Amino acid sequence: MLQNDTDLVDDGTELMTGEAVALDLRSTSYVLRAAGAIIDFLLSIGIFLLLILAISSPLLSPLFDDASRAAATIASLVFCLVVIPTAVETATGGKSLGRLAIGARIVRDDGGAISFRHAFVRALTGTIEIFSTLGGIATMTALLNSRSKRLGDLLAGTYSQNERLPRLVTHDWGVPQSLIGWSTTADVARLPDGLSRRIAQFLGQANHLAPSARARLSAELAVEASRYVFPVPPGESELFLAAITVVRRERESRALLLERERLARLDAALRGLPHGFPERG
């Protein structure tokens, strides 16, 4: 049960705030996660090999005996597999070179920034699921998870959020010519947020849909939207959806404009001092 308005509910497909507002936080796909992990894996191995070469170099080799060289090798491995990933993720808020390349970031399940604890758990688990098994455990876990989480994400309560989203294309259209007369007298109530989003998505992608799918989706959405409209005009479902979208947009825009005008008229009274009250610096 939600305790306050800042709590979040994750149903596996979207995040809902306590005010029932859906947050569009998209997880990174398995393929992109694998590409970023490969980059980070190769970078870690490269740094480790450089450290081994430095320990074995003529300059530093005389400083180590067999036992200290083995200890330095193990310390270098821990440094590359645990310390560096933890430090980088903590300092950058979930970024790494691989994630920078694919446009991803590690975040908490509620969408917030990770801390040292999250980064450390992920790095420590990564030594087993990524390096010890060459990504085998991580691959199996991510393929079975709807948000492509690996074992470290499940233990730490994190996931990879895709930050490189397609540019949002806005569509600005008016009421269809055949429904202009209807729109002046129609009673169009406010649609539920989920239905409004689906209608907007459909209208924005309608030109890319197959004719059969386009007709089926428009008919289904029109049936849902007709509950909030009176009278329901005859004609094509897609034109009906476009018309109610424009009507709601224009009416809500006028309502906001009137509210701003009323606040502007009251601004002097709200901000002014009571009559005869001295103004003190």
Question: CA–CA distance from 202 to each of 24, 218, 230 (Å)?
Answer: 17, 8, 22
Q: Please provide the average confidence, as pLDDT, over all residues in the chain.
A: 82
137 and 128 Cβ atoms separated by less than 8 Å: yes
The total of other beta-carbon atoms located within 10 Å of residue 40's CB is: 19
The answer, yes or no, to whether residue 7 has pLDDT greater than 90, is no
Query: Of 118-127, 163-172, 245-254, 263-272, where does mean pLDDT reach its minimum?
Result: 163-172
Model confidence at 6, in pLDDT bands (50, 70, 90)?
Answer: very low
> What mean pLDDT do residues 54-78 have?
87
pTM of the model: 0.57
Q: What is the pLDDT of residue 280?
A: 62
Residue with the bigger pLDDT between 188 and 47: it is 47
Instruction: Find the length of the chain.
Output: 281
Is 89's pLDDT higher than 80?
yes
Q: CB 202: neighbour CB atoms within 10 A? A: 19
Residue 62 pLDDT greater than 50, yes or no? yes
Mean pLDDT of 53-73: 86
Q: What is the per-residue pLDDT for 160?
A: 92
The 3-class secondary structure across 29-84, one letter per residue, is CHHHHHHHHHHHHHHHHHHHHHHHHHHHCCCCHHHCCHHHHHHHHHHHHHHHHHHH
Per residue in 131-140, pLDDT tens?
A: 888 888 999 9
Among 27-31, 72-76, 189-193, 277-281, name the one with the lowest average pLDDT.
277-281
Q: Could you tell me which residue, 10 or 167, shows the higher pLDDT?
A: 167
pLDDT at 166 over 70: no
Alpha helix (H) residue ranges in 157-236: 180-185, 193-205, 211-225
- CA torsion 170-25-22-112 (nearest 10°) is -130
75 has pLDDT over 90: yes
